[in-house]
Structure 1
Amino acid sequence: MMTEGKGMAPAVSADDRLEDRDTQKRSTLTIAGLRVGVLIMALLLWQFVAGAFDIEFFVSKPTEIWAQLQDWITSGYLLDNVGITLQATLYGFLLGAATGIVMGFVLGLIPLLGRLLDPFITAIYSLPKLALAPLFVLWFGIDLEMKVVLTAVIVFFLVFWNTYTGVRETDEELMDVLRVMGAKRRDMIRKVVLPGSLTYIYVGLKLAIPYALVGAVVGELIASNRGIGYILMSAAGAFNTAGIMAALVVLMLIATIMNALLNLTEVYVMRWKRAGR
């Protein structure tokens, strides 16, 4: 009869794993239910306070915001403008993220180049990105290209710095072991550097999502007659607080959906981490 060795961790049975999954599922459902409860309580409190203290002009009411959203949806006004903002946000996000990841890897893998360009990149990064918007209007006009470029510039630096840090934080001892074993540079990049920097990359991408929306909306506020930014500007000009709040709700929903989709890609791309546990 075999006995468990000293210091050896006990084997985890299939039943234990299933029990852990069930516990995790129940915990997830409980948290989701609590979140819904908190949201409902906050909306009810908002509705009550706005009516009781007669401050609807300043904060509106959830019921008025919902009525405004319904009106925009049924007329098609919201869908048309959301499509414009989404287009600028997604194009700018993808362009900025792709460029940031590539540049982060290049400068991270070539230390001399990284040290050479670091002060220049830092100097450009220190500029308020939104202050570049008038210059982009001059260069690209007021069409979609200007919003895409502005969004891409904002996203680029967030993704670049995280990717660059992730590449520079690669385990040097592991790299040395692979060199001794005769691994080629491309193998080390594919099997060590890339997996090790993925966490940093996804942190940068998650940080970049709300800023991508900021870039697109600010571009629309500066020069556009369509998009969520234009809706915000029109509602503010008409002192339509419900319209402003409704536009902000739409922006929050877009950011939440984009984050959820990014989380799904992270789960798929980094499934090897869970498999190794």
Structure 2
Amino acid sequence: MSEAMMRDEPKIANGSSGSWHSRPIWMYRLLLAVMILVAWQLASGRLIDSFWVSSPAAIVIRLMQWIGNGSLQHHLWVTLYETLAGFALGSIAGVVAALVFGINDTVRRTIDPFVLAIYGVPKVALAPLFIMWFGIGLAPKIVLAAVSVFFLVFFNTLGGIREVDIKMVEAMRMMGANRFNIQRHVVLPGSLPWIFLGLKLGLPYGFVGAVAAEMMASNAGIGFLTQNSAGQLDTAGVFAALFALIGFTSLLNECLGRLESWIFRWR
């Protein structure tokens, strides 16, 4: 009897554990988000002055006001355009630069300290310079977003190139392939996982670059909306602009992740 009970125990334990882990992860994420929002709403005005932290209800009201008069859509579109344009430019430049400089070890080691020195400069510090060069229109925001994305894509692609199987490269050379064919058929496909990692890391930084430039000199965009709300001491407006930016960044990252899963579906 005791042996039968012992044989049944793992089945019960495994069944319980399996049902727990089989629940979709989004349920736990939603539950955590609801708990945070409820705690925030209860603490606002009771434990903390609502002037400093606003409240989820006030933020939702402000978002609905902005959606109703069309200002949120306008400012989001401006920031989205700047970010995607900068993201495209920075990503393409980062991949091309890594393929050009990464294939030759001597060239890579020569430019490495210069690239690291420029990378160490805070990108926000470059915003005033870009505004002086390109004015206060869309151009400085796009350039700052591109620079913010470039280095992450460049370094990740460079890391992927180093991980490419050298035997594959040598085999292609023995078959008479030139450098372009080697990069196209061996180096680039082998670096794709690293490139996508750089793209996913670079996308939020593209938003940061565009918004930072908007906060310094702009008349449109989420950065302008945030700065304008802060100037009016509108805490709910600041949080509403930040939540709108977080939502769009998360949505774009999800789209990028799905594109990566589709490209690497052969795995």
Instruction: Give the TM-score normalised by structure 1.
Output: 0.84
The equivalent of 1:34 in structure 2 is: 28
The equivalent of 2:10 in structure 1 is: none
Q: Deviations over 1:70-89 (max 9, x none)?
A: 00000111111111111111
The alignment partner of 1:51 has SS state of coil
Cα distance in 2, alignment partners of residues 69 and 35 from structure 1: 22
Q: Deviations over 1:97-135 (max 9, x none)?
A: 110011011111122322222222122112122111111
The equivalent of 2:192 in structure 1 is: 198
The equivalent of 1:72 in structure 2 is: 66
The equivalent of 1:59 in structure 2 is: 53
The alignment partner of 1:94 has SS state of helix
Cα distance in 2, alignment partners of residues 54 and 149 from structure 1: 40
CA contact (8 A) 2:152 2:202 kept: yes
The equivalent of 1:257 in structure 2 is: 251
The alpha-carbon deviation at position 177 of structure 1 amounts to 4.2
Cα distance in 2, alignment partners of residues 151 and 252 from structure 1: 16
Cα distance in 1, alignment partners of residues 138 and 181 from structure 2: 40
The equivalent of 1:91 in structure 2 is: 85
Confirm or deny that 1:136 pairs with 2:130.
yes
Specify every segment of 5 or more residues in structure 2 that has no aligned partner in the other structure, as ranges.
1-17
Displacement over 6 Å in runs of 4+: none
The amino acid across from 2:118 in the alignment is I
Root-mean-square deviation (CA, aligned residues, Å) is 1.7
The within-5 A match list for 1:215-254 is 215-254=209-248
What percent identity do the matched residue pairs reach? 44
The alpha-carbon deviation at position 188 of structure 1 amounts to 3.7
The alignment partner of 1:225 has SS state of coil
Cα distance in 1, alignment partners of residues 221 and 53 from structure 2: 23
The equivalent of 1:112 in structure 2 is: 106
The alpha-carbon deviation at position 265 of structure 1 amounts to 1.3
The amino acid across from 1:184 in the alignment is A
The alpha-carbon deviation at position 176 of structure 1 amounts to 3.2
Instruction: Give the TM-score normalised by structure 2.
Output: 0.87
CA contact (8 A) 2:93 2:150 kept: yes
Cα distance in 2, alignment partners of residues 117 and 132 from structure 1: 21
The alpha-carbon deviation at position 195 of structure 1 amounts to 2.2
